[in-house]
Structure 1
C-alpha cells in the first residue's frame, strides 16, 4: 500500500517538547510518508532534533519519516504542505519577569502565558515575531496548511491572520483532552475495566483558548452529561485526579491539579469547564481561585522549575541524539497527525481548534479568535457551529476576547498609546490603584525592553 507523501516545515524545530511528540506520532502512523524540515534560530538545536528524528525513524511502524535541519526559514517553507509553528517568545528569563514582577504588586499567576500581566507582555514580545513568520509563509508557502502551537494562542493566531489574511491556519491546544480523559475514566470505571479511550469521547466545545467549556458530551451514542454531573457532585469538594501525585516529582507538584476549579465553574455556570485549573483560574478575579490556590488543589508554576525542566530535557535530548536510549513509536494525545491526514483526504477528523469566529459561536464578534470544534477533511478546516455560551460565561469570555483582539490590533498597527488601558482592564489588574497599575506596566516594559519597540518604551515612560 502506497503512503501519502507530505512535506512538513517545523518552525521552532529545535523544540524540546512538541517536536518529539510529532516524531513519536509519525513513527506510530502507518499512512504518511513525511519529510520534516526543522528550522530554528538555534540551528544546532534543529540539527540535534534531526538526529533524534532519524532515531524515531528506526522504530517506525510505517514508512520512516525523514528529518532535515535547514539554516533559513525560506528553505524550510519552500514547497511545504504543512507548516507547524512552535516557538518560545523570548527566554524563560523574560517569563520569570512576567510572573515575578506582578507578584510583587500582589498579583498571583499560575501560568502567566495567556491572560493577566504575564500573558499581556508575552503577547507584546510574541506578536512581531509571529507576524513575521506569517509573512514568510505568505512569501514562500502561501498554500500550505499552518498549525500554530504557540501561546498566547488567541492573540498569536489573530496576529498571523492580521499579517496574512489568506493564511490557512488553525491554532492547536490539547487542554480539552483533559475533560475527555475524565469522561473516559468514568465510563471505564463503570464497566470495571478499560473499554474506551478519550478518543471515543465527543464534546461540543465553546470558548476561547484556555477558557474552554462544553455543553454536550457523547460516548458511543450515550449522553454522558448526566454521568459527568454525578461525577462532579461526588468529587467537587474533594477534587479528583486519575492518580495520586508523586510528592517527589516536581512536574506533578507544579502541573497536576485536582479539577476543583473545573468542577466549581461547572456548578456556578451550568456547563462543564474543559481546560485545566491553572489556566481557568487566571481568567477569573484573583479572589476567586488564585489567592487560595493551594486550597483549590493547584500550584503556581515557578519559572525556576521550567528552567530546571528545560535543562533536564536538553540532557535527555543530547543522550538520545548520541544514540543512547530507545525512542518509542507511541501515539501521543496530540491531534496534529490526525488533522494532517484529514486535510490530505485520508478520512475525516473532528477536533477543537482556534479559528476566527465566522458564526460558530453566537454572541462574539466575527473575526474574534474562538475555540470550537472543526472538521478536517480534503475540503479544508471547516468550523462547526457550537452555539452560545451561558450569559454569565458570555460576559466573562467576551471581555477577555475583546481585550485580546484589541491587543493584537494595537501591536499590529503600532498604536502604543492604547496598550496601558488594555493592560489596566484585565481582571487581575483591575483591583490595583491607577498609580500602582501604571508602575507595574512601566516596570514590566523596562524588564522586557530588549524585545519591545523604542516607541512603546517612550510611551510607557
Structure 2
C-alpha cells in the first residue's frame, strides 16, 4: 500500500522542541509521505531544522519525510494540507518580565503563560501575531487543517477564529496525557506487567486549556474511575510521581510534580483534575497553592532556567544538524500525526482539543474556547459532547473563560481602556489595591512595549 502524501506548513519552523517531536513521529510513521515546509522569522533556525529533518528522514520506518526551509510564510502556506503554528510570542526576556515583575508585587506564578498577569500580558503581544497568521492562512491556504500549539492556547485559538471564522483550526495541548499516564500506571501495577500505555486510556475531558478535568475514565471496557479514586485517596497526602524526582536535575525540579494539587482539586470538587499541578495552581487564588508551592511539592519555573535550557537544546540541535549524534524514529506522546491521519481518512482518532464551544460543553457560552474531546476523521474535527462540570468548579472555569473572551474582544476592537479592568479581575491580581495593580500593569506593558500597539502604550502611560 502506497503512503498518503501530505504537505505540512510549519509556522515557527525553527522550534527547538515541537518541530523535532514532529520529525520523530513522522519518521516512526509508515503511512504518510510528508513534505514539510519550515518557516520562521529566524530563517537560519528553520534551515538548521531542515537539516535535522533530513537526518530523521534517513532513519524513517516508512516513506521519508522531506523538509525545506522557506523564506516566506506565503511560500510555506501555498497548497498546504496542514498548518502547524508553534511560535514564541516575543522572547524569553519578555517572558521573564511576565513572571518577574508580578513577583516583585508578591504574585507568584508557576508558568505565567496562560492566566494570571503573565498570561494576560503574553496574550496582549501574541494576539496580533496570531491574527496576522490567520489572515495569511485565509489568503494562501483557506482549506488547510490548522493546529495551534501556542500559548495562551484559549485566547490565541480564539484570536485565529476571530480573524478567520471559517478557519479549520484546533488547539493542541498534551497536559491531559499526564492523567492518562497515571491511569496506565495503575492498570500496569494491577496487571503486574507493562501492558498498557496512555494511548489505551480513554477519558471524557471538560474544561478550558490547562484547567482540564475528566468525569469518566475507561480502559479496555473497564470503568477505571473507582481505581483512580482509590489511587488519589492513597496518594493525596504523600503525593505520587512515576519515578523519583531528582532535586539536582533542573528539568526534574522545574517540570515534574507529585500531583498533590491534582489530588486536592479532586477531593474538593469531586472530579479528577487532568492537567499538571503547575498549570492548575495558577487558576486558583494566590494563597491556595502558589504561595505554598513547596508544601504541595511543585516548583515555580524560573525563566532563567528556560534560557539555559534553550541554549543547551540549541547546542544539541546544531550538533545534530552538523551530522553528530543519532536521531531516533521514536514515537513521542504527541497526538498530531494521529490527528493528521484521521483527517486524511486513515482511521478515526479521538483526542482532547481546544475548539469554540458549539454545545459540547454545557454551562459555558457558545463560541467560548473550551477543551473537550473531538473526533478526527475524513469528516473533519467533530467536537464530542462532554457534559457539564460540577457547579462550584464550573464557576471558577466560567470566570476565567469570560475574562479570556473579553480580553480577546477588547484587543480585536482596539478597546485598550477596557484592558486594565479585565486585568484586575484575575484571581491572582484581585488582592492588590487598585493603585498597586495599575502600577504593576503599566510596568508590565512598558516592559513588552516593542510588541504592542502604540494606542495601548498611550493608555498605559
> What TM-score range do you get, normalising by the shorter chain?
over 0.9
Task: Give the equivalent residue in structure 2 for 1:138.
Answer: 138
Task: Give the equivalent residue in structure 2 for 1:71.
Answer: 71
Structure 1: gaps (5+ residues): none
Q: Secondary structure at the match of 2:97?
A: helix
Task: Give the equivalent residue in structure 1 for 2:295.
Answer: 295
Task: Give the equivalent residue in structure 1 for 2:425.
Answer: 425
Structure 2: gaps (5+ residues): none
Residue 28 (structure 1) shift: 0.1
Residue 202 (structure 1) shift: 0.1
Alignment of 1:13-412 (within 5 A): 13-412=13-412
Partner deviation per Cα, 1:294-334 (whole Å, 9 max, x = no partner): 01010000000000000000000000000001100000000
TM-score (normalizing by structure 2): 1.00
Q: Secondary structure at the match of 2:190?
A: helix
Q: Secondary structure at the match of 1:457?
A: helix
Write the distance in 1 (CA, Å) between the matches of 2:422 and 2:67.
43
Write the distance in 2 (CA, Å) between the matches of 1:380 and 1:448.
38
Residue 248 (structure 1) shift: 2.1
Write the distance in 2 (CA, Å) between the matches of 1:253 and 1:204.
30
Write the distance in 1 (CA, Å) between the matches of 2:35 and 2:70.
12
Write the distance in 1 (CA, Å) between the matches of 2:323 and 2:3.
28
Q: Greater CA deviation, 169-178 or 439-448?
A: 439-448
Write the distance in 2 (CA, Å) between the matches of 1:247 and 1:207.
32
Residue 460 (structure 1) shift: 1.2
Write the distance in 2 (CA, Å) between the matches of 1:56 and 1:449.
39
Write the distance in 2 (CA, Å) between the matches of 1:255 and 1:448.
26
Residue 249 (structure 1) shift: 1.1
Write the distance in 1 (CA, Å) between the matches of 2:247 and 2:284.
28
Residue 190 (structure 1) shift: 0.7
Write the distance in 1 (CA, Å) between the matches of 2:247 and 2:403.
38
Residue 246 (structure 1) shift: 1.7
Task: Give the equivalent residue in structure 2 for 1:447.
Answer: 447
Q: Secondary structure at the match of 1:358?
A: coil
Residue 247 (structure 1) shift: 2.2
Residue 245 (structure 1) shift: 1.2
Number of aligned residue pairs: 461
Write the distance in 1 (CA, Å) between the matches of 2:69 and 2:454.
34
Q: Secondary structure at the match of 1:205?
A: strand
Write the distance in 2 (CA, Å) between the matches of 1:40 and 1:442.
31
Write the distance in 2 (CA, Å) between the matches of 1:249 and 1:424.
36
Write the distance in 2 (CA, Å) between the matches of 1:399 and 1:188.
38
Write the distance in 1 (CA, Å) between the matches of 2:194 and 2:82.
35
Write the distance in 2 (CA, Å) between the matches of 1:42 and 1:347.
36
Write the distance in 1 (CA, Å) between the matches of 2:210 and 2:321.
33
Write the distance in 2 (CA, Å) between the matches of 1:196 and 1:273.
21
Write the distance in 2 (CA, Å) between the matches of 1:37 and 1:281.
37
Write the distance in 2 (CA, Å) between the matches of 1:248 and 1:320.
26
Write the distance in 1 (CA, Å) between the matches of 2:253 and 2:107.
21
Q: Secondary structure at the match of 1:216?
A: strand
RMSD of Structure 2 on Structure 1 (CA) = 0.4
Partner deviation per Cα, 1:214-253 (whole Å, 9 max, x = no partner): 0000000000000000001100001000000122210001
Write the distance in 1 (CA, Å) between the matches of 2:387 and 2:159.
25
Write the distance in 1 (CA, Å) between the matches of 2:388 and 2:379.
26
